[in-house]
Amino acid sequence: MIDFIAIVLIVTGIGFFAVGSIGLLRLPDLHSRLHALTKADNLGLGLVTLGTALLAGSLATAIKLLLIWLLVLAASAASANLIARHALERGDER
């Protein structure tokens, strides 16, 4: 049962990644691309880590996975902010 839930979570997470990647390629301007990428990746990664945490079987591993997700969240928020700010300063919105 746990295996099944984990697999569903992971597959959903991968779906978010896929949507995010399509968004990165297809959306018209930088801000919406960033939007697609960060939202999808953070949620996608969250679901994948949740799924793998269920499969991990030990609390310590699950906490490590959670930490990884938090780190990625912070890093992607910061880098998205940097990219957006850089684009704003340069007036390059494409």
Partner 1 sequence: MNALLWTLLDLLLAAMLLGLGWAAVATRDLKRGVALFIAFGLLLALAWARLRAPDLALAEAAIGAGLAGALLLAALRDEPRHEKLAAAHSRAGLWTLNLLSVLLAVVVAWALLCALEMGEGLRLAGAVTDHIGQSGVSNPVTAVLLNFRAYDTLLELAVILSAVLGVLALGPARRGYGLPGPVLGGLIRWLVPLLIVTAGYLLWVGAHAPGGAFQAGATLAAAAVLLRLGGVDRAGLPAAAVSRWLLAAGLLVFLGVGLSLAGLGYGFLQYPAGLAGGLILVIESAATLSIAVALALAYVGGWSRSGSTQPDSTQGGSH
Question: Which residues here bind partner 1, judged by CB under 8 A?
Answer: 71, 74-75, 77-78, 81-82, 85
- In the complex with partner 1, the residue whose CB is nearer, 5 or 75, is 75
CB of 87 to partner 1, least distance (A): 13
CB of 49 to partner 1, least distance (A): 16
Residue 63, Cα to own-chain centre: how many angstroms? 18
Closest C-alpha among 15, 25, 6, 24 to residue 76: 24
CB of 70 to partner 1, least distance (A): 10
Amino acid at 18: A
Please tell me the distance from the alpha carbon of residue 37 to that of residue 24, in angstroms, as a whole number: 6
